[in-house]
Amino acid sequence: NAGVTQTPKFRVLKTGQSMTLLCAQDMNHEYMYWYRQDPGMGLRLIHYSVGEGTTAKGEVPDGYNVSRLKKQNFLLGLESAAPSQTSVYFCASRTEARVGEQFFGPGTRLTVL
């Protein structure tokens, strides 16, 4: 099992460009999450999904959109990137039965110039 994978690992964007981050999990988990990690801020939840076809806003959703068309994939989109979106992005998933027990991907380091 690959667990949770994220594509790409690194990316540099210019202000105003768009991009999509892909998260995939092979554990048949119902719940999936997108976080951003910034120094001194811990992890902040951007969006999450409790099942295929569903999405919900987290703590810091502005400037991001998500889609969960397939159970195993959770996409995070930046329509018009801003320097404030420079961060490390983590995807996580969990099974419905195990509250709080999330499996994390390796992260995507995004720089917006």
Partner 1 sequence: AQSVTQLGSHVSVSEGALVLLRCNYSSSVPPYLFWYVQYPNQGLQLLLKYTTGATLVKGINGFEAEFKKSETSFHLTKPSAHMSDAAEYFCAVSSNRDDKIIFGKGTRLHILP
Q: Which of 45, 65, 72, 95 binds partner 1 (CB under 8 A)?
A: 45
15-23, 62-70, 72-80, 93-101 -> range binding partner 1 (CB under 8 A): 93-101
Q: Report if residue 99 touches partner 1, rule: CB under 8 A.
A: yes
Radius of gyration, alpha carbons of the chain: 13
11-19, 21-29, 50-58, 76-84 -> range binding partner 1 (CB under 8 A): 50-58
Name the DSSP class of 8: -
Place of tokens 């801003």: 82
Burial class (CB in 10 A: 0-12, 13-18, 19+), 92: buried
- Residues 58 and 34: their CA atoms lie apart, in Å, by 9
CA end-to-end span of the chain: 36
Q: Report if residue 90 touches partner 1, rule: CB under 8 A.
A: yes
Q: Report if residue 58 touches partner 1, rule: CB under 8 A.
A: yes
Q: Report if residue 56 touches partner 1, rule: CB under 8 A.
A: yes
Name the residues that contact partner 1, by CB under 8 A: 4, 31, 33, 40-43, 45, 48, 50, 56, 58, 90, 92, 99-102, 104-107
